[in-house]
Amino acid sequence: MHRTGELYGQFETLEQQKDSATLGMWIFLVTEVLFFGGLFLTYTVNRHLYFTAFGVGGNMLDLKLGATNTVVLIASSFTMAMSVWAAQTDRKKLLPLFLTLTLILGCVFLGIKYVEYKQKFDHHLVPGHSFDLTYRINHPTPGDSPKELEGERKEIEDAIQTEAAGTPQERLVALNAHTQLYFSLYFGMTGLHALHMIIGAGLLIWVIRESLKGRFTAAYNTPIEIVGLYWHFVDIVWIYLFALLYLINRHAV
Amino acid sequence: MSTASTANVGPALKMPEKHYLNATYGIRSWLLTTDHKRIALLYLVSVTFFFFIGGFFAMMIRLHLLTPSGYLLTADTYNRMFTMHGVAMIFFFLIPSIPAILGNFLIPLMVGAKDLAFPKVNLLSWYIYIVGGCFTLYSMVTGGLDTGWTFYTPLSTVYSNSAVAPAVVGIFITGFSSILTGLNFLVTVHTMRAPGMTWFRLPLFVWAHYATSVVMILGTPVIAITLGLAAMERVFGLGFFNPAMGGDPILFQHLFWFYSHPAVYIMILPAMGVISELIPTFARKKLFGYHFVAAASLAIAVIGFLVWTHHMFLTGQSTYAAIAFSFLTFLVAIPSAVKTFNWTATLFGGSISFDTPMLYAFGFLGLFLIGGLTGLFLGCLGVDMHVHDTYFVVAHFHYIMVGGAVMGYLGGLHFWWPKITGRMYPEWLARIAALILFVGFNLTFFPQFVLGYLGMPRRYHVYPPEFQVYNVMSTAGASILAVGYLLPMIYLTWAAFYGKVAGNNPWPATGLEWTTASPPPTENFAATPVVTWEAYDFHNRPDLGLDVPAGHPGIVPAHGDD
Amino acid sequence: MSEHVVSPKIYVVILLALLLGTYLTVSAALRDFGPWNIVIALTIATTKALLVVLFFMHAKYSPKRTQLVVMCAVFWLALLLFMTMSDYVSRVDYRGVRYPVSQNFFLTHSPHS
């Protein structure tokens, strides 16, 4: 295993090595764009087909937590950019600090995600046999605000009318199935995103350890830069996920 | 024109003392190698293994189809045979073959580098391929798959009783092998070219692999997420592709074909790259229209992403959408035609020799032409209405994939065998094998055009009795084809140990890889090469020892030298 | 290739712009702009993404090759989305009903009829 900062055998110069590493990471991010892109297509098609159900599902997400997560991730992108700056300007003390802040913010994001997921689990909104979009209104807990529940009930009733004709019971079954599609996408997309964040956290732990050993200088800071590229990409995916999952039909409520 | 081999081999030449094969010994030095040349050989062994698997299933199909009422296999088993033939051949043989074997071996040599940009990632690619292969093998031995290699839903996600999930996971994993190889190639070509090796001095093999890598990078992630969704749907009962839950099977088809159409360009572009190397070498003439061929490779890669819906003409598309995609399908044929014209024009006025690689190149030219043209027939909406899902389609893609890609693969393997092993294969036996393969191939697949046109559907285990004569011809051809495949496997292996020593440049050819020893040393070149000549320039290469008179009508003078 | 060091001042400006964008997109979502809601949301999201790519990821200061790579990613994603949707929006089934037929699935396949 080569120590960071040394020239690997297949390269002629350090500049070629850095050039290759950066280009390699950018190309990898292209593959990630297309990877998430398949999910974005599935989302687009299903939203086009079942707009109302998607609105119902979207309104069941906690906007405050989602917006907080967006702010957290944007801040972590800022601290990541600052760590690249610290590395480039030989600020050996600030570098691990900014990296650690980035990691902490990332963990905050994951923590909030966990809270959201748990909420969904409690409300029977995890796709599967027990998926039931009416569970929450039929089984209110003391913590739920009556106004919110009433709003949700009305929204579901309005949505049922937009489903294809049949008895109200059949339409509810259809709405349930279509809302389940929304939540499959919700868990699929945010879950894949969270997986990428966990990998990003792992990468951050690695560079923090290396930076504490003083290995990164103005002359050599490629790992910081490419971890930064990866982290910013994960932020960009969330920016779109927030807009597409949380902000569908908010004004209706 | 001479029929004797012009290769310069023989007892006067000696193998180099130290080269990449004997640099280190032991199984660990192979399984933990980061040398692109050794990794190429690791791929050679594993890809050949999957070729045998796919070939076994092909044999079962052809044996079963000898009789109209199917005495050999049940309908269910027959479904598993053609599915696993497709899966093994496409994902584990055709897609890796030329890039992972010849591309891995040659690209650093051709650009003048010591290795690829990311050698450890290269080794990881191979391991990922093996892991994905293991999952798929597991699926094959626990009952197999019966959904067709296209995994259409909801059969694959809901109703099939076969081992879909492990196979789909296996292909998902192997996709990352493809992605990492493509990434490695792209970065290598961008950043690791030797001094003087400008973009337009690169061999067209490199351009072809660059274009292939672009397709791998942009397309493979989409099949990955598609199969991931299909696996999730099968295991957790989600509803994206299931109409009973509000989902849409057409969505699966769109996602699937968005990759799987460009995938066919992943399979053919490298073969075209090989042909671009073979024809100038064995016509002793600069390739006609280098820039056009390079541009055509990129054009195929890009336009290839615009046509996927032509696999879905019969799914209820609106006429307007179908017309648009049919038009785009015609468009994608143009760069391929440009290349074919340029290869043919290169032959004109050249000094042609009929060594085995050139025989494969000729085979490619004729068979790819037929395969490509029949693709245009299929792109015609009216014709497709009748021949979709018939043997016409099967014949079309086998002409391209076997008549095209496999010919390119075998031609390349023969051409570069002396470089890879330091020894030459037996020429006359190889020519006979090439001929056997050509005859066997045409006997197998030409009758299938007729069958398809007459209406025999694909993926059916029975057929009307009047089609039997064509099916018997096809099976007879397949047995001859099998011999054509086995012979090279045997004599190439033999030649690797006992063939005549080949020397640096037996043909001779103009690429940078031929300036170093055969087999090359681990670091590829004794000193970093400096390139001062254009690609395929026989005229300005005194080191090749060719007797090239100035102003010879068959050879185009180099730039600035009239 | 010389490295371009971006000043923290620029990073702070971009951070504030991104936070502003977040505030704008949430408040726009809470109002009814009809079909324009999605347009506004995606425009703001794309602007934010652009700021991250150009400044945080240094794409503005990177060689042309990097910018080409980014544009290819965006272009191919757009290809995937637009060409597939072009098929969906142009489909009409034989009953003259909007695709997909499964929207009417529960009508014709109800367990009760």
Tell me the shortest Cα–Cα distance from B482 to chain C, in angstroms.
40
Confidence of residue C94 (pLDDT cuts 50, 70, 90): low
- Judge whether B303 and B332 are in contact, CB under 8 Å: yes
For C30-49, give the DSSP string: TS--TTHHHHHHHHHHHHHH
What was the pLDDT predicted at B106? Answer: 98
Measure CB to CB from residue A37 to each of C25, C77, C106 and give the nearest one.
C77
Confidence band (pLDDT; 50, 70, 90) for B490? very high
With a cut of 90, say whether residue B94 has pLDDT above it.
yes
State pLDDT tens for residues B456-473: 999 999 999 999 999 999
Confirm or reject contact between C97 and chain B (CB < 8 A): no
- The answer to whether C22 faces chain A, any CB pair under 8 Å, is yes
Per the domain annotation, does B351 fall within a domain?
Answer: yes
Given this model, what pLDDT does residue C99 score? 56
The reply to whether residue C91 touches residue B318, judged by beta carbons under 8 angstroms, is yes
In a domain, A2, yes or no: no
A219 touches chain C (CB under 8 A): no
Residues of A in Cβ contact (< 8 Å) with B243: none
Cβ separation A236–C14 shorter than 8 A: no
- Nearest CB to B117: which of A20, A34, A39? A20
* CATH classification of the domain holding A89: 1.20.120.80
B518 domain-assigned: yes
Residue B16 lies inside a defined structural domain of this protein: no
A40 at interface of C, judged by CB pairs closer than 8 A: yes
**Residue A5: inside a domain:** no
- pLDDT at residue B268, as a whole number: 97
Select from A18, A59, A250 the residue whose CB has the most chain C CBs within 10 Å, as the one to mutate to test that interface: A250
pLDDT digits (tens, 9 = 90+) for A5-61: 677 788 888 889 999 999 999 999 999 999 999 999 999 999 988 888 999 999 999
B57 domain residue, yes or no: yes
| Model confidence pLDDT, tens digit, residues A75-107 | 999 999 999 999 999 999 999 999 999 999 999
Cβ distance C25 to A40 less than 8 Å, yes or no, reads no
In a domain, B125, yes or no: yes
Q: Could you tell me which chains touch chain A, where touching means 3 or more CB pairs under 8 A?
A: B, C
* Contact between chains at B243 and C83 (C-beta distance less than 8 A): no
* pLDDT at res. C107: 38
Residue C97: CA atoms inside 13 Å, Cβ hemisphere, count?
9
For residue B8, the model assigns a pLDDT of 60
C100 vs A: CB within 8 A: yes
Residues of chain B with pLDDT > 70, as a percent, come to: 95
pTM of the model: 0.93
Taking an 8 Å cut-off on Cβ atoms, the answer to whether A27 and B217 are in contact is yes
3-state secondary structure B52-82: HHHHHHHHHHHHHCCCCCCCCCCHHHHHHHH
Contact list, A40 vs chain C (CB under 8 Å): 77, 81
Residue B385, pLDDT above cutoff 90:
yes
Contacts of B528 in chain A (CB under 8 A): 12
CB contact under 8 A, B239 and A181: yes
Q: Please name the amino acid found at residue B537.
A: D
Q: What are the residues whose beta carbons fall under 8 Å from the beta carbon of B391, sequence distance 6 or more?
A: B448, B449, B451, B452, B456, B457, B458
Res C24 pLDDT > 70: yes
CB contact under 8 A, A127 and B114: no
Chain B contact for C104 (CB, 8 A cutoff)? no
Has residue A8 been placed in a domain? no
Q: pLDDT band at residue B561, thresholds of 50, 70 and 90?
A: very low
Q: Residue B318: its pLDDT value, please?
A: 86
pLDDT digits (tens, 9 = 90+) for B328-379: 999 999 999 999 999 999 999 899 999 999 999 999 999 999 999 999 999 9
Asked, for residue A81, whether it belongs to a domain, the answer is: yes
Instruction: Read off the pLDDT band of B548 (50, 70, 90).
Output: low
Instruction: Give the mean pLDDT of B30-58.
Output: 97
- Nearest CA to B132 among B223, B204, B251? B223
- ipTM of the prediction greater than 0.90, yes or no: yes
Classify residue B558: in a domain, yes or no.
no
Question: Does residue A3 sit within a domain?
Answer: no
Residue B266 has pLDDT above 60, yes or no: yes
d(C-alpha B321, C-alpha C27), whole Å: 39
The two beta strands, B423-424 and B500-501, are antiparallel
Read off the pLDDT band of B298 (50, 70, 90). Answer: very high
Domain residue spans in chain C?
Answer: 1-62, 64-113
Residue B550, pLDDT score: 55
Determine, yes or no, domain membership for A156. yes
Q: Is A68 on the interface with B (CB under 8 A)?
A: no
Q: Is the pLDDT of residue A150 over 60?
A: yes
**Which amino acid is it at B64?**
H
Preferred mutation among A46, A184, A196 to probe B, highest tally of B CBs within 10 A: A184
Average pLDDT, chain B: 93
Query: Looking at residue B562, what is its pLDDT?
Result: 28
Q: What does the pLDDT read at residue B35?
A: 96
Partners of residue B225 in chain C, C-beta under 8 Å: none
Size of interface A-C (CB pairs under 8 A): 146
Torsion, Cα B22 B24 B29 B33, to 10 degrees, reads -80
**pLDDT at B194 > cutoff 80:** yes
Give chain A's domain count: 1
- What number is the average pLDDT over the span B288-294? 96
pLDDT confidence of residue A10: 86
Q: How remote is the C-alpha of B152 from its chain's centroid?
A: 24
Are A48 and C88 an interchain contact pair (Cβ–Cβ within 8 Å)?
yes
Our CA-based measurement puts residue B456 at a distance from the nearest CA of chain C, in whole angstroms, of 28
> Once rounded to an integer, what is the mean pLDDT over residues C25-37?
90
B317/C102 touch (CB, cutoff 8 Å), yes or no: no
Chain A, window 194-213: residues with a beta carbon less than 8 angstroms from a chain C beta carbon: none
Segment C1-19 mean pLDDT: 87
Q: Is the pLDDT of residue C103 over 50?
A: no
Picking from B190, B222, B254, the nearest residue to C87 by CB comes out as: B254
**Would you state the pLDDT for residue A148?**
85
Q: Is the pLDDT of residue B168 over 90?
A: yes
CB contact under 8 A, C84 and A78: no
Q: Do B238 and A42 touch (CB under 8 A)?
A: no
Cβ-Cβ contacts under 8 Å, B220 against chain A: 31
Which band of pLDDT confidence, cut at 50, 70 and 90, is reported for residue B540? confident
Shortest Cα–Cα distance, C84 to chain B (Å): 7
Q: Could you read off the pLDDT of A205-251 as tens digits, one per residue?
A: 999 999 999 889 888 999 999 999 999 999 999 999 999 999 987 87
Q: What is the pLDDT of residue B557?
A: 34
Among candidate residues B547, B509, B486, the one with its CA nearest the CA of residue B415: B509
The CATH number of whichever domain residue B164 belongs to comes to: 1.20.210.10
Of A16, A45, A128, the CB nearest to B248: A45
Q: Do A34 and B245 touch (CB under 8 A)?
A: no
Per-residue b or e along C48-85, where b marks 16 or more CB atoms closer than 10 Å to that residue's CB: bbebbbbbbbbbeebeeebeebbebbeebbebbbebbe
Smallest CA–CA distance, residue B188 to chain C, in Å, is 14
Strand partners, B423: B501
| Residue B187 near chain C (CB below 8 Å) | no
Is B509 part of a structural domain of the chain? yes
Owning domain of residue B305: 27-544
Asked if residue B7 has pLDDT above 90, the reply is no
Gap from C5 CA to chain A (nearest CA, Å): 7
* Residue A162 touches chain C, beta carbons under 8 Å: no
Q: Is pLDDT above 50 for B402?
A: yes
| pLDDT category of residue C18 using cuts at 50, 70 and 90 | very high
Residues in CB range of B408: below 8 A, 6 or more apart: B98, B268, B270, B271, B272, B273, B274, B275, B360, B364
Look up the domain containing A215 and give its range.
14-252
A216: closest CA of chain B, how far (Å):
21
Task: Report the alpha-carbon distance of residue B115 to residue B97 in Å, rounded.
Answer: 19
Helix B104-111 and helix B204-236, axial crossing angle in degrees, nearest 10: 140
Q: What does each C-alpha distance from B223 to A79, B174, B220, B247, B332 come to in angstroms?
A: 35, 11, 5, 18, 21
